Chains A and B, each alone.
Chain A
Amino acid sequence: MAEFLAHVRYFVGALALLAVIAVATPSVAQAPGQVNPTAQSVKEDQLFQQLNRLDGRVTIPDARSAVLIQPAGQSWREFHQSTLLWIAGISIVGMVVLLTVFYLVRGVVKLSSGKAGRTILRFNGFERFIHWMTATTFIILAISGLNLTFGKNLLLPLIGPEAFTAFSQWGKYAHNYLSFPFAIGVFFIFIMWIKDNIPNSVDVEWIKQGGGIVGKKHPPAYRFNAGQKIVYWIVVLGGVAVAISGYLLMFPFYGTGIAGMQLAQIIHGIVGVLMIAAMLAHIYIGTIGMEGAFDAMGSGEVDVNWAKEHHKLWVDEEMGKTGSTRARMTPAE
């Protein structure tokens, strides 16, 4: 009897299973002709309507390769091949033209009261070392950077592909290694001169009078006048921008993806060429543009009369602070 019941149970169970299958089947099974495997399939066009790039998943260990298509590369190409060239060309060539015209019209800014023969210490050895370390590395970085931007149009046809590659390869090494002393220099410039570069009311007056370079008068200034403060902040802020964007490019995929690197290159390129243009003006006024200016970063000692003309308030401070002992009785060369 028990055996019979077991058979019945088995039979009923099998029937129930069949019933479940019978109920479930119609919703699953369709005629083969109605199957459309692409009904839900992803399509490139649709995805691009929603997204600006296609990402997926890869099974290889290199997860960065999971970006399938990134059309943003086309806009980066447009920037690199056209926009950057225009920005660089206009700002750098424009600055050279401007300085040339300025030199012809205004001429050298002379020391109107003549040399006093006594000098005063303007920048000590450490300050000058930091300045020249930053300056020399900046010039090399600027040349190697401009070479990457303009070299293939200007230099490559002249010296041929092999020599141009060798030069550019050294430029890349220079960029990789000299970026460190440059960044360190910018850091020291920041902390060394920050206290003298906070904008104040004297700067407003200085700018109103056009400074000592555009205007004929010499509006008073502390250690740095408004123009120099502008240069300072260009170096500090621009330097930080190129350093951060540059290191993101130097260490690919550390903290950035492809879009981040494109943006970093755009920032690096624009800030870089604008800094080059600004530094051309800085170099001009520090050398041929103004009599007596180079001594400040050359020997570090400037003529007292030069200091009084250009940085009256600073001289007063120095004299008041240290008496006449710091203004040494040494004949100026």
Chain B
Amino acid sequence: MARMKFLCDADRCIECNACVTACKNEHDVPWGINRRRVVTINDGKPGERSVSMACMHCTDAPCAAVCPVNCFYTTADGVVLHSKDLCIGCGYCFYACPFGAPQYPRVGNFGSRGKMDKCTFCAGGPEADSTSAEYVKYGSNRLAEGKLPLCAEMCSTKSLLAGDGDIIAQIYKERVSKRGYGSGAWGWKTAYKETIAT
């Protein structure tokens, strides 16, 4: 099986935020939550770079390790998913996550945390594939339809890559060798304990 990963080629990202919008629309993401966002580093200075970031579906995921109710699981594709039926909205995964992926809809009188929401790599949740029950909680399940995550699929500069980690690493390597530069695979060391040698 493929090991699914995200890779943002920051030298191509033009900070158009289309991945953010597409994700929100595709999954009908709750108000106030962005499963993906584009962060610009050194904004306005020479050498600024924008990186599109969401859940990186880590190897040995910190969220899964600290979850007090064990609501996380990793699919055969290496995608880290969780069950909203088991989640209690404690916030621990947010403290542990290096990428700020877990977010909580604000519910109740104190704006306390509801059930956690995060990027699913367009792979839904524990419910049966492509059911409305799955859609309501996790959004659409494109992987089950044989498609890759929408954010990467519609990226206009093909900066954001999603798919088999070996293949997207190969694509990135070829780009770097052809154009002669690359600012690196952002987050890979943290998420996958490896980086792409270029």
Contact = CB atoms under 8 A, between A and B. Distances in A.
Interface of A: 36-45, 47, 54-60, 62, 64-71, 73-74, 76-77, 80-81, 147-149, 151-152, 156, 161-162, 164-165, 168-169, 171-172, 176, 249-252, 258, 261-262, 265
Given A57-B39, A172-B88, A76 B47 contact: no
Interface in B8-45: 10-11, 15, 17, 20, 32, 34, 37-43
B50 to A, nearest CB: 8
Contacts of B89: 172
6 contacts: A41-B48, A57-B39, A68-B100, A165-B87, A168-B90, A252-B91
Contacts of B37: 58, 60, 62, 65
A80 B66 contact: yes
A71 B191 CA distance: 10
Nearest to B37: A65
A59 B38 contact: yes
Contacts of A42: 41-42, 47-49, 183
Given A76-B96, A252-B113, A69 B190 contact: yes
A74 B98 contact: yes
Interface residue SS majority, chain B: loop
Contacts, number: 163
Given A68-B186, A71-B98, 7 more contacts: A54-B41, A56-B41, A58-B40, A77-B65, A161-B70, A168-B88, A172-B89
A152 B69 contact: yes
B40 A57 contact: yes
Nearest to A264: B95
Nearest to A57: B43
A40 B11 contact: no
B110 A251 contact: yes
Contact of B62 (A73, A171, A265): A73
Contact of A148 (B68, B87, B110): B68
A41 B41 CA distance: 10
B51 interface: yes
A165 to B, nearest CB: 5
A48 B49 CA distance: 15
Contacts of A40: 46-47
A251 B95 contact: no
Contact of A44 (B15, B110, B183): B183
A229 B32 CA distance: 48
A171 B69 CA distance: 12
B34 A149 contact: no
A157 B130 CA distance: 30
A261 B104 CA distance: 15
B75 interface: no
Contact of B187 (A39, A69, A151): A69
B62 A74 contact: yes
Contact of B70 (A66, A148, A156): A156
B68 A44 contact: no
B98 A176 contact: no
A65 B39 contact: yes
B165 interface: no
Contacts of A147: 68
Nearest to A41: B47
Contacts of A60: 17, 20, 34, 37
